[in-house]
Structure 1
Amino acid sequence: MMLRRTFLAAAAAVPAALRPEALRAQPGVDAPQPRLPTEPLVIVTRDGRRHGFTVEMAVDPSQQMIGLMFRPSVKPDEGMLFDWGAPRESSMWMRNTIASLDMVFIAADGRIHRIAERTVPQSLATVASNGPVRATLELAAGVTERLDIRAGDRVLHRIFGTAP
């Protein structure tokens, strides 16, 4: 009988945030954030081919923290651009990201610095830019290979002072 009372007293002390009714999906926490405002972006490859994308703009820390988490897929002509505001080292991970992505790290002048292809969904491994970048672009896995996009190619977007 004493054990039962102790259990009931402990159950009553559980904080409200941990009760089952509070554990439902919360947008931006354990569900996809609403789509962010979009802008056009163009990647020009070394042979002059232009590839257009519509990218969601992740500009504030809360948007950047969530990114494309919990989204089941990314369309081949869409993505998300993380604008860091100024050049810095960029380190990303795939926690709670269920779609594989290509991560394109872009220098302040709009040149692609590095590409991490086909990142592993749900991985906690860090994917680093390996140098200062102004932005990171996330695309559907395989897009950079299919379009033959490489380091050194140019990204046209307003944050780099170029219009698409």
Structure 2
Amino acid sequence: MTLLLSGCLAAVPAKGSLPVKQACLISGERANPITLEIAVSSEQRSRGLMEREALGPEAGMLFVYSNQRRADHGFWMYRTLIPLDIAYMDRHGIIRAIRQMAPCPEAQGRDCPTYRAGVPFYLALEMNHGYFESRGIEVGDRLSLAPSDCR
């Protein structure tokens, strides 16, 4: 995980914003370039993409955990306005599961469904709904933050 995230936290974000990193999702011989906001702290991960009205077509948010999350850990869409897909990954950025998530209009977070990973994970990547399927990205493909992989 250290190699995967090297340099990820080097950027100093503006107050209230997250560090941004260029990355790519690698499927077979194809590299799909993306721009990621990196959520590392508990507060950043809790806020996630709440209240955003749009997400760029090649943009996403990477949630980084220092300890492995259990398979029953998941994400919810409370106060999230846009439909998203989420890829749960191991410490090396290998996709282990992909789920589709719908916005939750409920007034209380407890009334929103949880999208459980179903696999242990260290990283979770949220992208616009349909992103992974439209690019043929599947379980077993991987995320790379190394510029040399993304050319």
**TM-score normalised by L of structure 1:** 0.72
Q: Does 1:105 align with 2:98?
A: no
Give yes or no for contact 2:31–2:149 (8 Å, CA) kept in 1: no
User: Which residue of the other structure, out of 104, 121, 132, is the alignment partner of 1:133?
Assistant: 121
Bigger helix share: 1
d(CA) in 2 for partners of 1:113, 1:150: 9
* Deviations, residues 117-159 of structure 1 (Å, cap 9, x unaligned): 2x1101611111112111100001111111011000011126x
One-letter amino acid of the structure 1 residue matched with residue 35 of structure 2? T
d(CA) in 1 for partners of 2:32, 2:149: 13
SS at the partner of 2:138?
coil
d(CA) in 1 for partners of 2:44, 2:75: 13
Q: Match of 1:63?
A: 44
Runs of 4+ in structure 1 over 2 Å off: none
SS at the partner of 2:43?
helix
What is the count of residue pairs matched by the alignment? 127
Give yes or no for contact 1:86–1:108 (8 Å, CA) kept in 2: no
Which residues of structure 2 form unaligned runs of 5+?
1-14, 106-111
Q: Does 1:122 align with 2:100?
A: no
Q: Match of 1:49?
A: 30
**TM-score normalised by L of structure 2:** 0.78
SS at the partner of 2:44?
helix
One-letter amino acid of the structure 1 residue matched with residue 19 of structure 2? P
User: Which residue of the other structure, out of 133, 141, 145, is the alignment partner of 1:145?
Assistant: 133
1:21-32 equivalences in 2 (<5 Å): none
Q: Which has the larger radius of gyration?
A: 1
Moved more, 80-89 or 142-151: 80-89
d(CA) in 2 for partners of 1:49, 1:34: 34
Aligned-CA RMSD value:
1.9
SS at the partner of 2:117?
strand
d(CA) in 2 for partners of 1:71, 1:50: 27
One-letter amino acid of the structure 1 residue matched with residue 20 of structure 2? T
Residue 86 of structure 1: CA displacement?
2.5
Which residues of structure 1 form unaligned runs of 5+?
1-32
* Deviations, residues 38-78 of structure 1 (Å, cap 9, x unaligned): 011211103x1100111001000111101000001111110
d(CA) in 1 for partners of 2:20, 2:39: 9
* Deviations, residues 85-130 of structure 1 (Å, cap 9, x unaligned): 132124100000000001010111221000012x110161111111
